[in-house]
Amino acid sequence: MHTSLVTYSKRPRDAHDVAMTTCPYCESESACPHLLLIVDTTFRCAHGGPLYEVFDKRWQTLWDAHGEEAGFDERRHFDELLQQVQALADTQMGSGSEGGPGQSSTYRRFYCASPERVARAVKEFGRRAGGANRA
């Protein structure tokens, strides 16, 4: 069962605090063994977590292959990747960061109930990379 909690913070973003939320499993306010992925949904980029590199590579490959095409819907394709992550995660949380005009972002963090589930999710997402990036 997937749950979604949304919290918003007016704290400024810095390199160590990307729209802080608390882990629903261990209550950590920083990276923890339950964290799968942190994504900035406003600017459509990944920011951290064990799935970061695989997710970022898939998004970049998709963008490089189709980003300049006339009918390419960036938001839709990014959201499709996020749906794949959501299907592997146990929980997701949202947060917002206000950094001034044009600098505000909305973040989503995906968590798994155990470090073992995080490892399985990373492996599964990597396996799905083969045919999942078609536009």
More reliable by pLDDT, 3 or 21: 21
Contacts (Cβ under 8 Å, ≥6 apart) of 85: 36, 37, 39, 51, 55, 110, 121, 125
Mean pLDDT of 74-78: 91
Cα separation values, 23 from 15, 38, 128, Å: 19, 12, 26
Contact 94, 108 (CB under 8 A): yes
Q: Percent of the chain beyond pLDDT 90?
A: 48
More reliable by pLDDT, 63 or 9: 63
For residue 73, pLDDT over 70 is answered with yes
Mean pLDDT of 1-30: 54
For residue 18, pLDDT over 80 is answered with no
Contact 88, 121 (CB under 8 A): yes
What is the span of the domain harbouring residue 18?
3-132
The model's pLDDT over 48-58, given as tens digits with 9 standing for 90+, comes to 999 999 999 99
The total domain count for the chain is: 1
Q: What are phi and psi of 20, to 5 degrees?
A: -50, 135
